[in-house]
Amino acid sequence: MSENDNKNETQLEEKRKDVEQSQVKLKYPRAIPFIISNEFCERFNFYGMKAILVLFLTRKLMYDDDISTIIYHTFNCLVYFFCIFGAIIADSWWGKFNTILYLSIVYVIGSGTMALAAVEPWIAIDPGARALTITGLFLIALGSGGIKPCVAAFGGEQFKMPEQAKQLATFFSLFYFSINAGSLISTSVTPILREDIPCFGMDDCFPTCFWCTCYFDGCCNFILLIR
């Protein structure tokens, strides 16, 4: 048998092994449903809060339109700035999972602070409500921005390549669907809650909206812990 025949036979054997290996059905990663659920809850919280933020700043905290616009856009800038911070921490010290978990706790604290600031007794104390709101927004920006570069990458790491390439593509489709679903539902629901549900003697109920989004953010942490 010639040397070329031996090479061809070796190549065919390697291709056969590759095909057989790719046909081995691996179990779908157990963590994926939790990652997708976590992302849905996080996006529900973030966009639900943003949907009523300017109204809260102008109607309850009595900021003028210019200051409210500055606060709103500064908050958005910080969210994306802290993406760099989260990526550095994940790659250098904590790893992706711990970064997501710890900064999600910061996120929940920020959401709870915003909810507390919206309660009527705090609104009556003008400097207190404003200070709580700014603190809450900073913590939310840190938490949301910090986990942003980690979640999709952490989900992708759960798959064995190239055997699970198809499952990986399905994961990213579901992942981005959960982002858009959480955003759509929250931006539709939170304004309705604010307008139609009275609470604490107020005609509109910002506390209910903020507590609702805080609850979903708390679900993120619970989902991560049980994964």
4 pLDDT band (50/70/90 cuts)?
low
216 pLDDT band (50/70/90 cuts)?
low
Say if residue 28's pLDDT is above 60.
Answer: yes
Q: Is residue 18 part of a domain?
A: no
pLDDT tens sequence across 5-26? 555 566 556 655 554 555 456 7
Q: Output the domain CATH number for residue 105.
A: 1.20.1250.20
Q: Is residue 165 part of a domain?
A: yes
Q: Is residue 45 part of a domain?
A: yes
pLDDT at 61: 87
Domains: count for the chain = 1
> What average pLDDT does range 103-118 have in this prediction?
88
Q: Is residue 81 part of a domain?
A: yes
Question: Which class for 25: exposed (0-12), middle (13-18), buried (19 or more C-beta within 10 A)?
Answer: exposed
Q: Is residue 28 part of a domain?
A: no
* Distance (Å, whole) CA 108 – CA 210: 11
* Distance (Å, whole) CA 15 – CA 186: 49
Q: Is residue 16 part of a domain?
A: no
Q: Is 61 in contact with 123 (CB distance < 8 Å)?
A: yes
Q: Is residue 4 part of a domain?
A: no
> What average pLDDT does range 75-103 have in this prediction?
94
pLDDT at 140: 93
127 pLDDT band (50/70/90 cuts)?
confident
Q: Is residue 17 part of a domain?
A: no
Strands (E), 50-178: none
Confidence (pTM): 0.83
What residues make up the domain containing 175?
36-226
Higher-pLDDT residue of 192, 218: 192
Closest to 135 (Cα-Cα) out of 105, 156, 115 = 115
Query: Considering the chain, what percentage of its residues have pLDDT values greater than 70?
Result: 77
pLDDT at 23: 43
